[in-house]
């Protein structure tokens, strides 16, 4: 194992699978050399001196011997910053471009150098910024999703929006599959929904962010975002993986795109679930999303219908919020702290009010409780659904059981528990 090159390397951690014959050290060295200088041992000494600053280095190897023929190793390799430009396509192509096709190998983690990170301002708002826009300094936020949108006309959509807003939700997001369409194009949808938001605010006294789905051709995304904002949109939803992390980075870095961006995980399931291939969720939906500037990040919750194992969920949570992301390796001075603003974790799918205490237990206050069916499916309608969630959040914050709290005259919560139960 080589010494760490402290001065400006990004580190990629991989899990590499093999069998009883696999020489993981040799494999790691071949990656470190092959993805940087190309060849090393046969170089003349003078040449080595000139090339050393470009050479990748094996930082860590841990081999796990299984009981069967399968073995694997966790391998970390440092890639000198000098080899790639300071953008995410360059970094990802360097560390996992060709290598992703080299048998069973999964990208498990990424550590960014100070120099690399300096190109990334990160989330424009972050958790505090979103809270400040909403005037909600402490409690978990509540987001709701349209029930169904395709084939609905503008008055229907507006009414659906208003009912959600009346329930006291903090954010409403477009469905990620709502694209530009004749019934509810963005230039009609945004004014109609923002009007509904205003109408609801007169009753609830509460602010609301509407995350409008940013879609269409890549090279028109900035214009489309600015158009949505001019029309009144005060947040954006973005299918990051369909466009690449660099597009998110560019949108988040643009001073004229002056609203929070919520990153949707659409297509992520093609990349993270296999143990043998792809990219770990804490990287894909965690570090890379935050680095690229997502203020809120949606990901499959461990509670609901689309399930992600809880430890993966908590790993996403940690990298979205922590400042100590780069100190997992041996020495404290190896990599810098993250000074980027933290992103709001938004565990999603299959959430009903009865799960709220679990979300708060696992995520604390800095979380967005996100529901679709759990709001629209409430027997009292979407507004009652929103209220049930807000009551559940209050109960969780007060450390009271949902049953107790519901019995205390919180009828919407009681009705929700009656159909969906409350997880014990």
Q: Please report, as residue ranges, which positions from 243 to 282 form the binding site for its own copies (by CB under 8 A).
A: 243-244, 246-247, 250, 264-271, 273-274, 276-279
CB of 197 to its own copies, least distance (A): 22
For its own copies, which is the closer residue by CB, 368 or 422? 368
**Which residues ranging from 43 to 62 are in contact with its own copies (CB under 8 A)?**
50-51, 53-54
Q: Which of 5, 9, 36, 164 lies at the binding interface for its own copies (CB under 8 A)?
A: 36
Is 222 marked active-site? Answer: no
For its own copies, which is the closer residue by CB, 6 or 85? 85
Question: Using an 8 Å Cβ cutoff, are 181 and 166 in contact?
Answer: no
Q: Exposed, middle or buried: residue 293 (CB in 10 Å: 0-12, 13-18, 19+)?
A: buried
Question: Using an 8 Å Cβ cutoff, are 166 and 389 in contact?
Answer: no
Instruction: Return d(Cα 400, Cα 289) in angstroms, integer.
Output: 34
Tokens coding 304: 């609901």
Place of tokens 């910024």: 129
**Which residues ranging from 198 to 227 are in contact with its own copies (CB under 8 A)?**
215-219, 222
Residues forming a β-bridge with 155 = none
Q: Is 30 in the site for its own copies (CB under 8 A)?
A: no
**Which residues ranging from 377 to 406 are in contact with its own copies (CB under 8 A)?**
none
For its own copies, which is the closer residue by CB, 274 or 339? 274
**Which residues ranging from 309 to 338 are in contact with its own copies (CB under 8 A)?**
none
Contacting residues for 5 by C-beta, under 8 A, at least 6 apart: 57, 78, 80
- Residue of 26, 27, 48, 98 marked active site: 98
Estimate to the nearest angstrom the gap between the alpha carbon of 220 and the chain centroid.
23
Site track 164-203 with its own copies (rule: CB under 8 A), x = hit = ------------xx-xxx----------------------
Instruction: Return d(Cα 136, Cα 172) in angstroms, integer.
Output: 15
Cα 348 to Cα 147, 173, 307: the distances in Å are 14, 12, 9
Q: Which of 21, 26, 39, 398 lies at the binding interface for its own copies (CB under 8 A)?
A: 39
Torsion angle, alpha carbons of 18, 23, 28, 30, to 10: -110
CB of 353 to its own copies, least distance (A): 21
Q: Which of 14, 24, 72, 84 lies at the binding interface for its own copies (CB under 8 A)?
A: 84
**Which residues ranging from 281 to 310 are in contact with its own copies (CB under 8 A)?**
300, 306, 308
Q: What is the DSSP string of 90-132?
A: HHHHHHHTSGGGSSSEEEEEEE--HHHHTT----SSHHHHHHH
CB of 117 to its own copies, least distance (A): 16
Site track 343-382 with its own copies (rule: CB under 8 A), x = hit = ------x---------------------------------
Q: Is 419 in the site for its own copies (CB under 8 A)?
A: no
For its own copies, which is the closer residue by CB, 47 or 198? 47
CB of 271 to its own copies, least distance (A): 5
Query: 153 in the Ramachandran plot: left (φ > 0), alpha (ψ -120 to 50) or beta?
Result: beta
For its own copies, which is the closer residue by CB, 63 or 306? 306
Contacting residues for 231 by C-beta, under 8 A, at least 6 apart: 186, 187, 190, 191, 194
For its own copies, which is the closer residue by CB, 137 or 217? 217
SS3 state of residue 56: coil
Question: Using an 8 Å Cβ cutoff, are 341 and 127 in contact?
Answer: yes
**Which residues ranging from 85 to 144 are in contact with its own copies (CB under 8 A)?**
85, 87-90, 92-94, 96-102, 104-105, 107
Which stretch, 8-16, 33-41, 159-167, 332-340, contacts its own copies (CB under 8 A)?
Answer: 33-41
Instruction: Return d(Cα 78, Cα 80) in angstroms, integer.
Output: 6
Catalytic annotation, residues? 98
């Amino acid at each position: 194992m080589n010494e760490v090159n402290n001065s400006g390397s990004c580190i990629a951690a991989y899990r590499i699978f093999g069998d009883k014959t696999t020489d993981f050290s040799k494999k790691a060295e071949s990656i470190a050399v092959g993805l940087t200088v190309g060849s090393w041992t046969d170089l003349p000494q003078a040449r080595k001196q000139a090339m050393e600053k470009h050479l990748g280095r094996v930082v860590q190897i841990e081999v796990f011997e299984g009981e069967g023929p399968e073995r694997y190793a966790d391998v970390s390799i440092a890639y000198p910053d000098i080899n790639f430009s300071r953008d995410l396509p360059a970094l990802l192509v360097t560390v996992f471009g060709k290598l992703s096709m080299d048998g069973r190998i999964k990208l498990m983690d990424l550590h960014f150098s100070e120099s690399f990170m300096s190109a990334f301002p990160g989330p424009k708002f972050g958790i505090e910024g979103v809270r400040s826009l909403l005037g909600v300094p402490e409690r978990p936020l509540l987001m709701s999703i349209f029930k169904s949108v395709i084939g609905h006309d503008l008055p229907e959509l507006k009414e659906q929006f208003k009912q959600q807003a009346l329930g006291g939700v903090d954010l409403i997001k477009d469905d990620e599959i709502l694209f530009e369409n004749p019934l509810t194009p963005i230039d009609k949808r945004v004014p109609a929904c923002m009007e509904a938001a205003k109408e609801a605010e007169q009753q609830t006294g509460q602010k609301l962010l509407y995350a409008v789905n940013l879609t269409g051709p890549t090279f028109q995304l900035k214009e489309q975002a600015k158009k949505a904002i001019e029309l009144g949109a005060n947040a954006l939803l973005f299918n990051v993986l369909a466009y690449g992390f660099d597009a998110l980075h560019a949108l988040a870095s643009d001073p004229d795109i002056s609203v929070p961006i919520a990153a949707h995980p659409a297509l992520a399931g093609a990349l993270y679930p296999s143990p043998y291939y792809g990219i770990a969720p804490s990287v894909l939906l965690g570090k890379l999303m935050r680095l690229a500037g997502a203020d809120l990040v949606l990901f499959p919750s461990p509670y609901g219908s689309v399930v992600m194992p809880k430890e993966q969920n908590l790993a996403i949570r940690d990298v979205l919020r922590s400042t100590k992301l780069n100190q997992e390796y041996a020495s404290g001075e190896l990599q810098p702290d993250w000074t980027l603003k933290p992103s709001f974790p938004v565990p999603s799918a299959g959430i009903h009010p009865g799960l709220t205490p679990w979300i708060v237990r696992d995520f604390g206050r800095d979380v967005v409780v996100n529901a679709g069916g759990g709001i629209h499916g409430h027997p009292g309608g979407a507004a009652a659904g929103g209220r049930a969630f807000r009551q559940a959040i209050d109960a969780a914050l007060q450390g009271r059981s949902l049953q107790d709290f519901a019995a205390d005259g919180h009828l919407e919560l009681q009705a929700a528990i009656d159909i969906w139960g409350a997880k014990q």
